[in-house]
Amino acid sequence: MAPAITPVTTSDSAPQATTVVVIGGGIVGLMAALALAERGVPVVVLEKGRIAGEQSSRNLGWIRKMGRDVDDLPLAMASERLWQAMHERVGGDVGYRQAGILYLARAEAEMAGHRAWLDAVRVAGLDSRLLGPMDIDRLVPGGTGGWVGGIHTPSDGRAEPSLASSAVARAALAKGAIIVEKCAVRGLSMAAGRVDGVVTERGEIRCRHAILAGGLWSRRFLGNLGVSLPTLPLVASVVRTAPMEGPTDIAVGAPDFSFRKRTDGGYTITQRGGFVAPLVLDSLLLGHRYLPMLRAQWKNVRLSLGRALLDDLALPRRWRDGALSPFERVRTMDPPIHQGLNDEALRNLAAAWPIFEGAAVAESWAGMIDVTPDSLPVISPVAKLPGLTLASGFSGHGFGTAPGAGQLAADLAMGEVPIVDPSPYRLDRFT
Ligand SMILES: Cc1cc2nc3c(=O)[nH]c(=O)nc-3n(C[C@H](O)[C@H](O)[C@H](O)COP(=O)(O)OP(=O)(O)OC[C@H]3O[C@@H](n4cnc5c(N)ncnc54)[C@H](O)[C@@H]3O)c2cc1C
């Protein structure tokens, strides 16, 4: 089950026509809708399940510049500014706290990685700095030590996934957006060589532009239209503790665990170095593109062969607009929790900060991430389908950049000056 989000009252039906249809009611689609509604553009968000039912309610809530690709930093920095103003913008709490993020290193090789990143991004003028073991004891007291050092970015932060999407959705609704849940989009209708509408399970909605923010489903949606978006799924498992005393407000990431304070007084914990890669048909079709990533990360990835492949093969890759689509068959992707990874995370964390020995697990969940071969998202027009803008493939770090990404998608769709240079996010970089 996904963690609960603050409820939002959405519409039962959609209009027959609008200016922009956003396909997918995750945090990216909702941010795009908010940006459009604020500009007075008529916009309809169509969500096959529940808003934020997939990745956007299941993530850790980290909002970071640290560790990002240098090409991704302008979007992260623009998004940070937008998060800072979000409470006021949406008229509600999104749980944003600029409490800092700290990565810990157990080995010299990890420190070398942090040093290399810091050198690569020096031009961005970030407040990130390398720490020694004593700095770590001072910032996060009560630990058993053993760190060779770390890297700390005080201006990084976090927000609450359980609050953020709902608050953004409510603000978009207040500005005139329409949001319809349980309404899957099966395909696009084209006229005079460009998008003229979307075909949903409840009929057609005419529109001048469509934004596809379908998370891990965007690849399948586009595949049916003859466009290849390379993404593969990875599954991460997460634990939430009951409210408890903890060592720090800083979000801390070690090689084999991470934790961050929640606004409800608990902690969100994960095995930071552990993902499950379900073996699906796309693993065979696209796997070769991920070899460099796999070589660097092979220790972190556990291949899973079994039900995921059967479930995947049972879902159609080609369908007609009049027939049931994969999006109605899976309203909400709810992958199995890897209990072993969650147990490992809790064990490793308690060994490093013994205060967590008494942590009471209140909830666990898993989420499926859409990963591109270079770990950067695609926020881009789709040349083969004029009128369609794609915003997907956020590769496990799109919650933090969602405000900028949604706005960028809105800018590109409407032909306005983009919030940041969109070139790192072009779809055609893969062709
Ligand atoms: C366990 C976990 C931890 C993470 N931690 C972090 C973190 O700390 N920081 C960070 O920045 N990021 C993190 N992420 C990544 C982050 O959650 C995602 O990058 C972000 O939520 C992506 O948002 P989205 O709107 O693109 O996708 P989603 O939230 O997946 O939304 C896509 C939506 O589109 C809908 N949809 C798809 N196809 C259709 C269709 N045809 N018709 C109608 N609706 C459709 C889906 O139902 C879904 O609701 C994490 C992810 C996970 C799973």
Query: CA torsion sign, 335 to 303 to 307 to 222?
Result: positive
The percent of residues in the chain predicted with pLDDT above 90, rounded, is 94
- Is residue 12 in a domain? no
Q: Mark whether 311 and 391 lie in a shared domain.
A: yes
Task: Give the pLDDT confidence score for residue 303 in this predicted structure.
Answer: 80
Give a yes or no: residue 5 inside a domain. no
Q: Is the dihedral of CA 108, 109, 114, 117 positive or negative?
A: positive
pLDDT tens figures, 47-66:
999 999 999 999 999 999 99
Residue 7, in any domain of the structure: no
Is residue 189 located within the same domain as residue 290?
yes
Same domain? For 190 and 322 the reply is yes
Residue nearest atom 14 in ligand 1 by C-alpha distance: 396
Ligand 1 atom closest to Cα of residue 367: 53
Domain count for the chain, please give it: 2
Q: How confident is the model at residue 292 (pLDDT cuts 50, 70, 90)?
A: confident
Q: Measure 353 CA to ligand 1 centroid, in angstroms.
A: 31
Query: How many CB atoms are located within 10 Å of the residue 216 CB?
Result: 22
pLDDT the model gives residue 187: 98
Residue 258 has pLDDT above 90, yes or no: yes
Query: Which residues sit opposite 237 in a β-bridge?
Result: 366
Ligand 1 close to Cβ of residue 335 (< 6 A): no
Nearest CA to ligand 1 atom 12: 397
Q: How high is the pLDDT of residue 1?
A: 82
Task: List 369's β-bridge partners, or say none.
Answer: 234
Instruction: Evaluate if residue 150 carries a pLDDT over 80.
Output: yes
Give the domain CATH number at 76.
3.50.50.60
275 ligand 1 Cβ < 6 A: no
| 217 belongs to a structural domain | yes
**Euclidean distance between CA atoms 330 and 203, whole angstroms:** 19
Residues 75 and 109 both lie in one domain: no
Average pLDDT of the chain?
Answer: 96
Q: pLDDT tens across 408-426, in order?
A: 999 999 999 999 999 999 9
161 lines ligand 1 (CB under 6 A): no
Q: Calculate mean pLDDT across residues 162-175.
A: 98
- The reply to whether 238 and 206 lie within a common domain is yes
Q: How far is CA 295 from the centre of its chain?
A: 23
Give me the count of residues in the chain: 431
Q: Tell whether 92 and 149 lie within a shared domain.
A: no
Residues 257 and 351 placed together within one structural domain of the fold: yes
In the beta sheet, which residues pair with residue 381? 389
Asked whether 412 and 379 are in contact (CB, 8 A), the reply is: yes
Residues 135 and 257 in one domain: no
Indicate which atom in ligand 1 lies nearest the CA of residue 392.
Answer: 26
Asked if 204 and 190 touch (Cβ cutoff 8 Å), the reply is no
CB 282 near ligand 1, within 6 Å: no
pLDDT at 204: 98
Pocket lining: 365 vs ligand 1, CB cutoff 6 Å: no
Q: What is the pLDDT of residues 204-217, one digit of tens each?
A: 999 999 999 999 99
User: What's the burial of 119, exposed, middle or buried (CB within 10 Å: 0-12/13-18/19+)?
Assistant: exposed
C-beta atoms surrounding 314 within 10 Å: 9
Whole-angstrom Cα distance, residue 364 to residue 60? 12
* Ligand 1 atom showing the smallest separation from residue 325 Cα: 41
Q: Is residue 305's pLDDT more than 80?
A: no
pLDDT average, residue stretch 116-121 = 97
DSSP 337: P
Question: 54 alpha carbon to ligand 1 midpoint, in Å?
Answer: 6
Q: List pLDDT tens digits, range 173-230.
A: 999 999 999 999 999 999 999 999 999 999 999 999 999 999 999 999 999 999 999 9
* Host domain of residue 149: 101-154
Q: What is the pTM of this model?
A: 0.98
pLDDT at 306: 75
Examine the pLDDT at 307 and tell me if it is beyond 90: no
Ligand 1 neighbour 53 (Cβ under 6 A): yes
Long-range contacts of 121-128 (CB under 8 A, 24+ apart): 121/68, 121/70, 121/73, 124/65, 124/70, 124/73, 124/77, 126/65, 126/66, 126/73, 126/153, 126/155, 127/153, 127/154, 127/155, 128/65, 128/66, 128/152, 128/153
Q: Is the CB of 49 under 6 A from ligand 1?
A: yes
Q: Is residue 28 within 8 Å of 82, Cβ to Cβ?
A: no
In a domain, residue 262? The reply is: yes
